[in-house]
Amino acid sequence: MSINFIDVFAGCGGLSLGLSEAGCNGVFAIEKSPLAFETLKHNLVDGARHKFAWPDWLPKKAMTCEDLLEKHHSDLSSGSFKVDLIVGGPPCQGFSTAGKRNPDDPRNAMTEEYLRLIKIIAPQFIAIENVSGYNMHFKNSKSKNEAPPASYADYISAKLEALGYDVSRGLINCSDFGVPQNRVRYIILCSKKERDKEPNNLFDKLTSRKKEFLKSCGLPTNRKITVSEAISDLCTFGKPLIQNRDSGQSNFQELLYKVPTDKSSYLKLMRKGCGTIPPNSLRLANHKPKTVEYFRLVQSICRPGFSMNIEQRKLAGTLKHSTTVLSPSLPAPTVTTLPDDIVHYSEPRILTARENARLQSFPDWFEFIGKYTTGGSARKSECPRYTQIGNAVPPLLARAIGQLFQEEVLLLANK
């Protein structure tokens, strides 16, 4: 018996991919960015490995949760439409630790739309993934009618409990689930309350099954996956380069990829089912000589695996706070939407989009669509490849969550 799900605020499909790899069945996904939706559609709607069922009444195009609720309320609330699981995390710009937390940010109205959708569909299970700042307390609110919520996590948890759900939540480091990256996220997992039963603490179940999950993926259970295990086959020194094949721009190069004979357990997982086919999104940055020299300087003065401190920034002549040189023997720092946040451990360059995808645990068969980067005012509206990857839920974490829900469905079926 497989669980079926819908993914809201789906991005390029990291959460949907992981759930699908766990054997869950996608019904549809909602994402407002046309670029991110095209990547999701290419892999999980039109792709060969996993296919959303997708109802006839819903267009296969980018849309918002608000669009869904306004135009398809009757379809969602009809007795024939049933979904076991709703997943997703409302966009985090209004409450990330990377910036100020503003409870009055209009983008946070998306949380209300998410709650409305849950109320209409009433799924058995809910999963919410967001930044670690999701549970940090607000300091100020301009709202005059009511006291501000302590945090978004507290607010949404109280709403879900009022809708009849057992709610369990906490922080998770994705590196504990085989992702070669120290990415801390706030997870909320819910199941419908059962009368006269103890609350179902799904979060504790998820964290207690880490080793079992890693074994199921063929990954080591006694240590973290390192950067070298994830991306060393994508190094370019001493290897032939060719013209980039997927950006439509002839002035970029990429690695002529050859599958290594000696693969780490992580690389075996990423390359599963790919044969000798190279991954896409291998385009190398066209760094100017001055930029290459800057990255060499940064590599020479930085402690690998740690962000530059004040003295190192002065030596490098930069005001940028978050630059980190990778350590090949450690997990990566958090992959963000900014390509120049991370410098390669042995080459004076930023990472390729595919290297970032590997650090996020996207398998090599998953192809990213659209432009690589954007700039200026377009950053606010466009979602190019680096942004899609940096915003994604790591598929391996999503797979662990999917396996948990599959086990929960079996328990319910056997009662």
Would you name the residues annotated as active-site residues? 92
Phi, psi of 372 (to 5 degrees): -80, -45
Residue for token pair 């109802």:
55
Cα–Cα dist 26/6, whole Å: 6
Cα–Cα dist 62/353, whole Å: 22
Q: Tell me 53's DSSP state.
A: -
Cα–Cα dist 361/345, whole Å: 19
Cα–Cα dist 13/327, whole Å: 28
> 285: helix, coil or strand?
coil
Question: Can you state the angle between helices 109-121 and 152-162, rounded to 10 degrees?
Answer: 20
Cα–Cα dist 225/294, whole Å: 29
**Quick one: CA dihedral 6, 8, 13, 15, positive or negative?**
negative
Half-sphere exposure of 127 (CA within 13 A, CB side): 27
Cα–Cα dist 145/125, whole Å: 32
According to DSSP, the residues that pair with 29 across neighbouring strands are 7
H-type helices in 188-282, by residue range?
A: 202-208, 210-216, 227-231, 265-271
Cα–Cα dist 96/230, whole Å: 27
Half-sphere exposure of 1 (CA within 13 A, CB side): 11
**Quick one: CA dihedral 325, 359, 357, 280, positive or negative?**
positive
What tokens does 411 get? 């328990």
> 29: helix, coil or strand?
strand
